[in-house]
Amino acid sequence: MLREVQTKYGKVRGLPAADPRITSFKGIPFAAPPVGKNRWRAPQPCQKWEGVKECYKFAPISVQNTPGLGTDIYCREWHVDPQIDMGEDNLYLNVWTPAKKADEKLPVLVWYFGGGFQWGYPAEMEFDGERLARRGIVVVTVNYRLNIFGFLAHPELTKESPEEPTNFGLLDQRAGLKWVYENIGAFGGDCEKITIAGQSAGAGSVMHQITTEKNKGLIKGAVIISGMISSPYERMGIAFPMYLKDAEKWGTEFFEFLGVKSLDEARQIPADKLLAKYDEFVTTHPRMFTVVDGKFCTASPTEKLLSGDCLDIPIISGNTADEFLNFIPAEDEAELEKKAEQIFGKDAKQFLAFPQAKVDTGKAPEFPFGPFGAHIIGDKQRYAEISGLELTIKKVFEARKASGSKNNFYYYRFNPDIPGEDNPGTFHSVDLWFFFETLAKCWRPFVGRHYDLARQMCNYWANFIKTGNPNGKDADGSAMPEWKPYEASSKCEMEFTPNGSVPKTETDAEYKAFLKAHIL
């Protein structure tokens, strides 16, 4: 087993995972600590070390609100440890490898966690890479800076580093990816077979990484889980990063709010105090996340995927059945018709002619949570409920094929029963337990059919990482249900159901085609 590995920067020693055929290395540095003068600066090169670094435990998580103190579903699900180490010195990654020797050239997964670019960390229990590693994959999970530490923009920063003025969290991700490309061969991986993947903001991160020319040649496939967040009814902020000049204004206001007069002063404020002031600041300002800086990020990644300004690679993408559903809030059909005219203009009559447009799915909650917060709808009915995620993914896939891509694109919908007294439905992120096949770490009373589905989902994922095609055999040697690529002509999809993986063909195709045309 590869318990000790020589990287470009020094030797690292790992430990046997729960399965001793897998070695886990936790807390490998991939960049210099982003502290002091390196705060709000692109990641700097990792320094070499002498001797052997014992990589036995996860490094501190990025500075964020303390996990495990709330009562929300995510604190119940996996953010359970308020004592977890946290700090600004956090640019570390983790590796799980099944390799016995360095020359095995196994396919590689690089994983970016989600959390709205405000929260999250690789040490979350659902991200255990062992089950994927048992399938012959070298798994890497990468940490990156968040919130005010990862995405501040300010005129002084732009002047100091005009080529890398902001998006430090995205630059951290890329630095981790470059480290993997340069070092993963020593762990038995193949640097020419790297798939990147992420969920939610991690999926948005994947979209940013595959829509920058800077990563050309580094990435051979992508898995985008619940990340293409757009709506046919309204322009959703998370899909449209703020432009640099606007982000600089928020940064200037934040410095004024801090009571500092310079970047040097702000860099001297302790991290916990900085986070506390940021928490106050975002009660009246947007949270800080990705920025169109004209350098790393030149446009919305969704727009770039639609235009073909991206890496030409195979993609898996999908969503849970219940997450971030879009709808038109209206008192009755008369108000629905008025709102349809506001949304669709001259196409409103065509929209209203679809029976699905007038389907009322009940009262809207007063605070319907969506990406990056909530907005008040009041006592309205939910009309024309639809998954904007699904529509956006399929629109991107159709556009990629129309542009001449020879690669395949695979769509899924995650729609099994999720047990628990909270009756949560297929809430945002619950599919992570299944893709990583880590259900045994969850408190929910999963039973055999859930474990069977998780095994299949993890198999599909592993096959895709290996070959760019998710299809293959199950653990008993039988062929799994065939997952055909989504194309405009066939509209094939995979639905993960209480009865396992079920290939399907898109329903309501004409209605969805109309709404897809109005995405973005």
For residue 285 the two structure tokens come to 């300002």
β-partners of residue 381 are: 330, 363
Q: With b meaning 16 or more CB within 10 Å and e meaning fewer, what string describes 466-494?
A: bebebbbeeeeeeebeebbbbeeeebbbb
- Rounded distance between C-alpha atoms, residue 364 and residue 123, angstroms: 35
| Residue 200 a catalytic site member | yes
How many angstroms separate the Cα of 30 from the Cα of each of 70, 92, 262, 268?
A: 32, 6, 29, 24
- Rounded distance between C-alpha atoms, residue 23 and residue 189, angstroms: 13
> Closest by alpha carbon to 41, among 175, 165, 184?
165
For residue 147 the two structure tokens come to 């919130």
* Residue 405 exposed, middle or buried by CB count within 10 Å (0-12, 13-18, 19+): middle
Indicate the SS3 state at residue 19. Answer: coil
Among candidate residues 24, 62, 161, 200, the one labeled active-site is 200
What is the bridge-based pairing of β-strands 11-13 and 52-54?
parallel
Indicate the SS3 state at residue 500. Answer: strand
Backbone angles phi, psi at 96, to 5 degrees: -115, 125
**C-alpha of 440 from chain center:** 23
- Rounded distance between C-alpha atoms, residue 509 and residue 351, angstroms: 14
Residue positions annotated with a catalytic role: 200
